[in-house]
Each structure stands twice: as C-alpha cells, then as structure tokens.
Amino acid sequence: MDTQKLLCSVLCCFLLSILSGRQQAVQGHYVPSDIRPLKLFVFGDSYADTGNTNKSQAAWIFPYGITFPGKPAGRFSDGRVLADYVAKFLGLESPIPYEGWKSSSCGIPLLKHGMNFAYGGTGVFDTIFPGPKMTVQIDFFEHLLKDNVFTAKDLEGSVSFVSLAGNDYFTHISTNGSAEGLQSFITTVVNQLAINLKRIHGLGVKKIAVTGIVPFGCLPPFTGKSSFQQCNETYNSFVGFHNLLLNQTVEKLNRETKDSPFFIIDLYASFTSAIKNEGSIKFENPPLKPCCLGVSSEYFCGRVDENGAKLYTLCENPKSAFFWDAAHPSQQGWRAVYSALQATLEQYFLH
C-alpha cells in the first residue's frame, strides 16, 4: 500500500471510529458493561441482510430504502430490518455488511460492532435466489478468524443472530409445485441448521439467537386470493412443524452444551400479534396488504416496464403498513415485531 493511501485510510478510519463511537453513545440502548467488548455476528437471509445482497436484486432499486437510509441500499424493506433492531437492542450500531467491508479500504474500525454475513434470499441449503447459503456464510466468518481479522478477544461476550425466514421452503414449494414432501424436508433443514448453530458456537461466539419461521401462510402471495383477508393455514401448519422441531432441537443442543448458549426468537408469535394489531404500534393499511404491490400476479415491488412506467403501486405512508412488499415487513412492521420481542431478548441475551 502506498503511503498516501495508507495515510488516507488511517485518517478516514480514525474519523469513522470517532463518529461511530459518538453515535453509539446517542443511540445506545443497552451496553452490558461486564460483557464488553461486545460484537454482533449476523447470518441468514433478507430479514437480516443490511447490504450484502447482489446488486441486481430488488433491495438495490427504488422504492426500497425510501424511509432509511433514504435511498436503495440493499435492505429488503423501506427502512431498517430486524438485524438493525437486534443491534440497537445490544447498544451497537448495525454491524457492517461483509460485502461492504471487503470493498472498503478502511479496515479495523469498521469492525467495531461485528459483521453481518446475511444475504437476502438464502437458506440453509441453496435456494432459487442468488447468494451464499448459511454454511458458506459461516465459512466467510471462519476465514476472518483464521486471518485474525477478529481475534479470540473480540469474541468474548460476542453474540450471534441467525435469521431463517423460509427460503428453503419457498424453493421447495416453487420448484416442486406443491407442498408435497415438505414434512421430511423440514427435518433435513432443521438438522442442518442445528449443525450450523453448533459450528458458530464452536468458533467462539458466546450466545446465539435463531429465528423461528414467521406465519408463512400470512405472507401476501398466499393471502392475495382472499384480497389479503385470510392466511393460508396449510402453510402455517407446516411452519408450526418447523418451529416445533426447531424448539426440540435447540433444547437438545442446549442440554449438550455448557451454559445453554442457544435460543429462539419467536417470529411466529410476534408477527401474529403485529398483524392482528395487538401491539401498541397500529397499522391502518389492512395488515395483510403490502405497501408496495406489483400489478402482476407475481407481486414484485420496484419493477418498471421498458418505458420506465411503474409496474407496482405504493401506499401513501409506509408507516401505515405492516408488510412492505410480498415477503418483508416495513420498517414500522419490524418495529412492531421488535417491541413484541424485547422481553425475550432481555431474558436471553442479557443472562
């Protein structure tokens, strides 16, 4: 590296670290002093991805990101996603996306809060979407540990957030044309997920939270037929099976591991409560109807025709809608989910 570049990156990094330190003091929600240095390592899919996804994906086109950061920047929402709220809960800034870090000349200070390895569309196994599956994301993390980008000391008090929203099942259903054979596939997915969680722990992360799957049958593609009035209970019962199996598997993992490091973030219950408008945050849009809705049956948000005319409709106020697009909550939706989850996060992350 030539001197000028080195100097520039040192300065830039110094400034960045001051700025991020200040921001943390303002934003900090909870910084347990006994478990510093705290870092957050994020794995999984679009409910956690803050900018890793392939630039050809919807998350990089208008109107994604209009609420935060104000322009499309790789989040599958109008604004913040669940990983951002988990970071906030821990008193951290949202950790830098792996892809952003790789392409930056500014190294260490950017790593202060951990790293986000989640890619929208991915699953435990390969899916119909691009992006590295969870095992490959963990490989990235392992390489950074081998290269001492993160040290053993960095992992003291570190925590992990793993999001698994169901892209494996979406892939299974759409490539097989039905839910047939899904039951045995669920077992395969949960078993591999358990191996992945154990591996993250084995690499030195102290606490690991994994999401249960949301009520899949309440996602817009499955409620559109009923004008966004009714969830499809067939799909919800499959999700119920996944979540039950995940519960048993995580219980078993904890029995086999000192300190019971694993816990489940119950997105099924928190989504359900938000969709039913039971929390303090209320949604005016019919709660099952997304803010950004494709005009075709494919429900794609953000698509335009060859003349640039929108092939989607956008609600007036994204805050009024729980769902942003066909698969993802709006920032306000995530806020509602987060507020339903806060007690669980306190119970498990902080003890």
Ligand X SMILES: *[C@@H]1O[C@H](CO)[C@@H](O)[C@H](O)[C@H]1NC(C)=O
Measured in whole angstroms, how far is the alpha carbon of residue 298 from the centre of its chain?
Answer: 23
Half-sphere exposure of residue 348: CA atoms within 13 angstroms, side-chain side: 21
Task: For 246-260, give one letter per residue: b (16+ CB within 10 A) or e.
Answer: beebbeebeeeeeee
User: Token digits for 68?
Assistant: 């935060």
In 3D space, the residue among 336, 331, 349, 254 whose CA is nearest the CA of residue 67 turns out to be 331
Instruction: Mention every residue, 6+ apart, whose C-beta is less than 8 A from residue 344.
Output: 263, 265, 266
Nearer of residues 150 and 338 to ligand X, judged by Cβ? 338
In order of 42, 84, 150, 213, the CA distances from 210 in angstroms are 10, 15, 22, 10
Active site residues: 46, 325, 328
Cα distances from 116 to residues 17, 21, 65, 95, in angstroms, run 18, 19, 18, 6
Q: How far is the CB of 266 from ligand X (least distance, A)?
A: 7
Tokens found for residue 148: 């001492």
253 versus 315: smaller Cβ distance to ligand X:
253
Residue 162 Cβ vs ligand X, minimum distance, rounded to whole Å:
13
- The closest residue (CB) to ligand X is 181
CB-wise, 231 or 274, nearer to ligand X? 231
Q: How far is the CB of 197 from ligand X (least distance, A)?
A: 11
- Between 33 and 184, whose beta carbon lies closer to ligand X? 184
Q: Which residues bind ligand X (CB under 6 A)?
A: 54, 56, 130, 171-172, 175-176, 179, 181, 185, 225, 232, 234-235, 247, 250-251, 263-264
| Shortest Å distance, C-beta 130 to ligand X | 4
